A and B are shown apart, each in its own frame.
Chain A
Amino acid sequence: MGSVATFLSARRGRARLDLSDWLAYLYLVLGVVIMFGPVLWLASSSLKTQAALQEFPPSILPSGQKLVKVEGHEAPLPLFELKRQDGTTVERALVRRIGIQGQFVDPAAPSAAIERAPIAQATPVREMRAAFENYTVPLQTLRFGRYFTNSLFVTIMATLITLIINSMCAFALSKYQFRGRNAIFIFIISTLMIPISVILVPAFLVVTSLGLSNSLWGVILPPAATPTGVFLLRQYMLTIPDELIDAARMDGASEWRVYWRIILPLTAPALAVLTIFSIMWRWNDFLWPLIVLNREEVFTLQIGLSSFQGELNTQWHYLLAMTVLTLIPVVAVFGFLQRYVTAGIASTGIK
């Protein structure tokens, strides 16, 4: 502890920390506990067995009572440390329990006589054990594998479509003079903050009339023409010098070639920001898929999780594991591309 304090209090300029610095660090450490603690708790809980999850008070790390396979018994038996009357302690497996009396067997010598002792004399032997079956079982038998691929499909297709149509539109709005340009731009911008919840009812009707309800395309298409993306890309494209485009036209390049050979490569940083935003929006999307998707085989992970948690007997051991699985992709994307995310948010004020 002492070395940590010296490390933290060593700083350039002044020799010692004053009170306000201590308070600042106290706030930050408290912040780490509150912001990060819940996720660590989720990760640890997701590796506990169903039995371990029901323990109260809960243990911090995934652990459970050690089970041993004993010859002559089909199911593995729970292992105890048994305190005998003569004061010695031995490891014994519990065969059965009658009231407060337990019948124990020596796992090393299964054919030896059964020992009888009060259960109060026995303490369970615990071991660290990660229940990876919490992850594998729902993926194989509970359709979570299907939800996962659905989410992946929606995220990838929607992001590609958004990038293409938004960048084309932004190109038109930033590099051409045409009638209606300002009207289109202002109309798109004014819907920046209008959420899907405002047009829920008619948007669902449109999707149904097009035969897209209960189809992943009904989730992908409607929010694809994001005003955020058009705005972000247009602002960035405005900084590309027009001379580059004129020079390319002089060399006989078509407008399409100007778009994909010159404009898109020069817009790469803004496209990167939009890619990350789009992945985040689509992977995490909830309200719109909730309305469009009613059949289980087209559920995305978010909808699958939400409906699984609403069931009568919540199977927390599976639910927690699938929650971890759901949060991993976005956190991974953030880990790799943190620079773009923070720069993008700071410069646009949009999430």
Chain B
Amino acid sequence: MNEAASNKTRSAAPAADRSGAFRSGSLFERVYAALMNLLEWPFAALQKRTGITGMAYAFALPNLLVFGVFVALPMVLNIGYAVTGSNEMMLGQRPFVGLDNFRTLLDCGNYLSANSCAQDRFWRAVHNTALFVVVQVTAMIVLSMLTALILNGKIRGRGFFRSVFFFPVLLSPVVVALIWKWILQQDGVLNAIILGAGGTKVPFLLDPGWAFFWVIFVSIWAHMGFYTLILLAGLQAIPGDLYEAATMDGTSKMRAFWRITLPLLTPNLLVVLVLALIRAVQAFDEIYVLTGGGPGTATQFIVQYIYETAFASNVHILGLAAAASILIGIVLLALTLLQLRLSYHGKS
């Protein structure tokens, strides 16, 4: 909310303040101007034919073309794959099977026990993902809220602490996974510490329970800083005089938190909740590199099921993979609409 306001003040500032690297005379500006001048005449020629408003289509075209070919078209094709069978790669050669793929995926004696399902691997992935989503999102929101509250207090070196909590967000999933794999392995530093403290070695990544715990821990470690930052921005937007007035009225700190902080932070919390949910539903890369979905299928999630069914197994069962991705897509679309609604609601 206050960001939008500051954007407006910035836009009113003199143009030179906003232009940064585009300052005239800089090396960047000269190269930039030379390149852009090259495109001047084709666009001018086009403008003669289309008129000013017609140019809008020309400007939108490159993005729409890439978007259309690589995002919109695949969305349509996905439905085509989901309703056809066989191992053929080309859509034209695949026989139509109707909703069979969905039926196979959803064919279950009891949805709570994966073994009773035709696609037990899919249902194990669904169960794992569900448990992961609930535990990871809850723990992450509590921790990032706590961190944001602490960082919002009168803390020395706030910038430093904020960076420390934020920087894992920048690391690639592969890097995150390898860092922790190195720490958690049998002869790793964590086992050395445990041994030094008089304990015994724990096979962290070979025991299903521990592996699941570390998968959650590592994904919180990697993404927590992002949510902390959003919540911190929300906290800093709460006017300080509200707290001053509360203190003057003799309100306790706890009461001020429940009555001022939490209600005013609700829009940010909702956005964080939905974003975290969307992320958790599609958890894949860190986990895939860290545990490979193992031990057994203990940490195998839905996206890994899609990936392995379509690409990694010997038989490429594209139909099932497409059907599964449509199911996950519906969940994500619902969450996205919810998020847009919430952020629109929060801003108005």
Contacts and interface: CB of A to CB of B under 8 A. Distances in A.
- Majority SS at the chain B contact face: helix
Interface string A3-29: 000001001110000000100110110
A351 B165 CA distance: 16
Interface residues of A, number: 112
Given A193-B278, A286-B285, A255 B52 contact: yes
Interface in B116-156: 146-147, 150, 153-156
B192 A305 contact: no
Contacts of A342: 162, 166, 229
A268 B22 contact: yes
B196 A31 contact: no
B282 interface: yes
A215 interface: no
Contacts of B76: 202
Contact of A349 (B15, B57, B183, B343): B343
Contacts of A152: none
B226 to A, nearest CB: 5
B249 interface: no
B310 interface: yes
A77 interface: no
Which of under 10, 10 to 19, 20 to 34, or 35 or more describes the interface residues of B? 35 or more
B60 A326 contact: no
A201 B318 contact: yes
B178 A200 contact: no
B66 A190 contact: no
B199 interface: no
Q: Which of A204, A331, A333, A342 has the largest number of chain B CB atoms within 10 A?
A: A342
A47 to B, nearest CB: 13
Nearest to A294: B311
A69 B94 CA distance: 69
Interface stretch (B204-212, B258-266, B328-336): B328-336
B31 interface: no
Contact of A326 (B4, B175, B230, B311): B175
A317 to B, nearest CB: 11
Interface string A200-226: 111111111000000000000111110
A150 interface: no
Interface stretch (A81-89, A101-109, A165-173): A165-173
Contact of B165 (A13, A31, A202, A272): A31
A194 B332 CA distance: 7
A206 B70 contact: yes
B303 interface: yes
A291 B311 contact: yes
Contact of B161 (A31, A181, A187, A287): A31
B339 A203 contact: no
A139 interface: no
A36 B182 CA distance: 15
B101 to A, nearest CB: 12
Contacts of B189: 41, 58
B248 interface: no
Nearest to A198: B329
12 contacts: A24-B153, A24-B155, A56-B187, A168-B63, A169-B64, A194-B333, A199-B71, A206-B70, A280-B170, A287-B307, A331-B170, A349-B271
Sort A-B residue pairs by CB-CB distance and give the 5 closest, nearest first: A284-B172, A202-B77, A169-B63, A176-B56, A256-B43
